[in-house]
């Protein structure tokens, strides 16, 4: 069984409940802290969700890796002429009308009606 299947199967069945149980146990037995049953349930859910986030990130990255390997294998075999749309696309994104109107940020200067005063006091240059 591959590692991505282990992660996909065991995370919701074992790792997330185990993380939730650990978080709830720690919260209940932490010295000097009084936790109600409702708060303990929330802590359990939070601990379980914290375990799910890295698993989802792993699975997402694994799928991207498998896609790259499949495209490389197909290209090496000569069955694919080009990569799929959006894969490895390093072209600059097109600017919308607002971005074209303002141009680069370096060219955008603010002019204040009060000459750049803050609370009635002039602001020194370079501040």
Q: What is the pLDDT of residue 69?
A: 92
The model carries a pTM of 0.48
Q: Where are the domains of the chain?
A: 3-77
* 22-73 tens-digit pLDDT: 999 988 888 888 888 888 889 999 999 888 888 889 889 988 998 999 999 9
Whether 16 contacts 46, CB under 8 Å? no
DSSP readout, 75-106?
A: HHHT--SSPPTTTT--PPPPP-HHHHHH--GG
* 91-119 tens-digit pLDDT: 565 666 655 555 555 554 555 555 555 56
Letter string b/e over residues 75-109, b meaning 16 or more CB atoms within 10 A of that residue's CB: eeeeeeeeeeeeeeeeeeeeeeeeeeeeeeeeeee
């Amino acid at each position: 069984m591959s590692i991505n299947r282990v992660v996909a199967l065991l995370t919701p069945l074992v790792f997330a409940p185990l993380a939730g149980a650990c978080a709830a146990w720690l919260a209940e037995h932490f010295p000097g802290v009084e936790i109600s049953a409702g708060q303990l349930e929330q802590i359990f859910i939070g601990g379980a969700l914290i375990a799910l986030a890295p698993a989802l990130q792993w699975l997402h990255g694994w799928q991207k890796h498998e896609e790259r390997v499949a495209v490389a294998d197909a290209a090496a075999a000569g069955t694919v002429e080009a990569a799929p749309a959006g894969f490895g696309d390093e072209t600059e994104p097109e600017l919308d009308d607002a971005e074209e109107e303002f141009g680069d940020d370096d060219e955008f200067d603010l002019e204040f009606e009060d000459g750049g005063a803050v609370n009635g006091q002039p602001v020194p240059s370079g501040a």
